[in-house]
Structure 1
């Protein structure tokens, strides 16, 4: 599975303004909404907040991967957000989160979601790529970083 199959440059936010978990999720969902990638924004937000109630998707090392299966989308979509200052996302290691990769898929696509989660987690757990993402000056730079990593995976 390729990250660029479900993330495009229009779904990257380099300077998140959010100060807390709720705001981060709302800001990332709005990026997808503005691009016309959502069927039902309220259903998407509700499903993401319900998922966070089960346990934080802040996985540590400055990474969070909020995700849900929802009737609010018809296919797998992702949005990447960067917070230079970091946000308290109740991460497992208690550290602020700088890199957010939100994933959504339709309700019947549990297998697809698991593959996407594994792929994104594997990519972001690599310290080299995390550092490159945080240093990226543009959306194009981020796409290039992901393309370079995906070429190595082939």
Structure 2
């Protein structure tokens, strides 16, 4: 799992994107494992609370190995969205 994030001036609100690589991408992680799931988070430069809360929510969801597995196996973007909504409902 990789969660690249940062702040950028000139954007009106937080933006989040999801990506998946079944073969994995080397992100030079501490555990040496390739990343298969990616959440890219860009927040307005002046944002503090929303940025940190969103990072915390993503981290909490992805701690669950069942959620990670479902995201890897989801057939399309609709299924991915349903996995995330279901995990949010249980959180």
**TM-score by structure 1 length?**
0.57
**Number of aligned positions between the proteins:** 91
Match of 1:130 among 59, 68, 73: 68
Task: Name the structure where strand makes up a greater proportion of residues.
Answer: 2
Shift of 1:91: 1.1
Residue 145 (structure 1) aligned to one of 64, 83, 87: 83
d(CA) in 2 for partners of 1:106, 1:119: 18
Alignment of 1:4-153 (within 5 A): 63-153=1-91
Q: SS at the partner of 1:151?
A: helix
- Structure 1 unpaired stretches of 5+: 1-62
**Which structure dedicates a bigger proportion of its chain to helix?**
1
> Deviating runs (4+, > 2 A) in structure 1?
none
The residue number in structure 2 matching 1:36 is: none
